[in-house]
Structure 1
Amino acid sequence: MSTQALRELSVLVLHGPNLNLLGIREPGIYGSVTLEGINCLLREESDELGISISIVQSNHEGVLVDSIHEALGKHQGILINAGAYTHTSIAIRDALSAVKIPTVEVHLSNIYQRETFRHHSYIAAVAVGQISGFGAHSYHLGLLALVNHLRTDL
């Protein structure tokens, strides 16, 4: 595959509510890496993989849903950490289901070792996979898994 063909592969990265506070919000749970630090790592990784990424963070459910809708025809994959919306948003789940863009769900903490209400993910059922519990490295693993899935599925 040529470098140009690889560049055509594009991934939308979505960060949900409160992730803009990474680095200061409960570092014992979420780590000390800031959201900008994670985004820099993702940009470096995307360059190494030869893909394009677009990154959106929002504390508003509708902005995330709109971003998913706008991904149609533009992105071949979605990497999402929906934050608390993972456990509450049927709207985000339905948007992901509607666009049928392969999605990998990531979480910094292991949601299954936390409060019971965090054990359920509305997104998991419509995602190709889920990675949680590896801190900022969850994003790296998620991007690698998603790109591998996309390239294998082409």
Structure 2
Amino acid sequence: MKKVLVINGPNLNRLGVREPGVYGSKTLEDLEKELTNLGEEHGVVFTFVQSNHEGVLIDAIHEADEKVDGIIINPGAFTHYSYAIRDAIASISKPVIEVHISNIHKREEFRHHSVTAPVTVGQIVGLGLYGYHLAALALIQQIKGDE
């Protein structure tokens, strides 16, 4: 059975209460349940990591290279300046898709640039939590194509 790791960075544990006008009212738990259900439909197991600490995310990326078939990541604010997370993604052999709930290109200037996107297979922005579903479907298609 194929496995996908979903990594969420800083403040994403606050989904549902943090700026609901930007991020919506669903919680991280809601998202995880939805992706688990999507995985069951497609024969894929999703696992989840959320941390507000850069090193925890880097460790999760490194460990994933041996344990999963692909990664969906929302690095949160680390997107814009964490060369360490960028380098961790670049160091693994598994495909990674970057997701952002809001359209980072319509927000503050500092959010317009992603240092992590160039080392991913793709980036989905501005589609709310549905962006995770799209990333999951794209990743499922890519990793199941390897069978």
Asked if TM exceeds 0.5, the reply is: yes
Where do residues 92-103 of structure 1 align in structure 2 (5 Å cutoff)?
92-103=85-96
Distance between the aligned counterparts of 1:21 and 1:129, measured in 2?
Answer: 25
**Letter aligned with residue 30 of structure 1:** Y
The alpha carbon displacement at 1:46 in A equals 0.8
SS in 2 for 1:66: helix
The alpha carbon displacement at 1:104 in A equals 0.4
User: Partner of 1:147 in structure 2?
Assistant: 140
SS in 2 for 1:140: helix
Percent identity between matched residues is 55
SS in 2 for 1:64: helix
Is 2:58 the counterpart of 1:59?
no
- Alignment match of 1:27 (pick from 13, 20, 41): 20
Distance between the aligned counterparts of 1:26 and 1:88, measured in 2?
Answer: 22
Structure 1 runs of 4+ with >4 Å offset: none
**Letter aligned with residue 108 of structure 2:** E
The alpha carbon displacement at 1:27 in A equals 0.5
Alpha-carbon RMSD across the aligned residues, in angstroms, is 0.9
SS in 2 for 1:70: helix
User: Partner of 2:131 in structure 1?
Assistant: 138
The alpha carbon displacement at 1:90 in A equals 0.5
Distance between the aligned counterparts of 2:146 and 2:80, measured in 1?
Answer: 29
- Alignment match of 2:110 (pick from 108, 111, 117): 117
Distance between the aligned counterparts of 2:120 and 2:65, measured in 1?
Answer: 16
User: Partner of 1:74 in structure 2?
Assistant: 67
Number of equivalences: 147
User: Partner of 1:50 in structure 2?
Assistant: 43
SS in 2 for 1:122: coil
The alpha carbon displacement at 1:150 in A equals 1.6
**Letter aligned with residue 39 of structure 1:** E
Distance between the aligned counterparts of 1:41 and 1:20, measured in 2?
Answer: 16
Structure 2: segments with no counterpart, 5+ residues: none
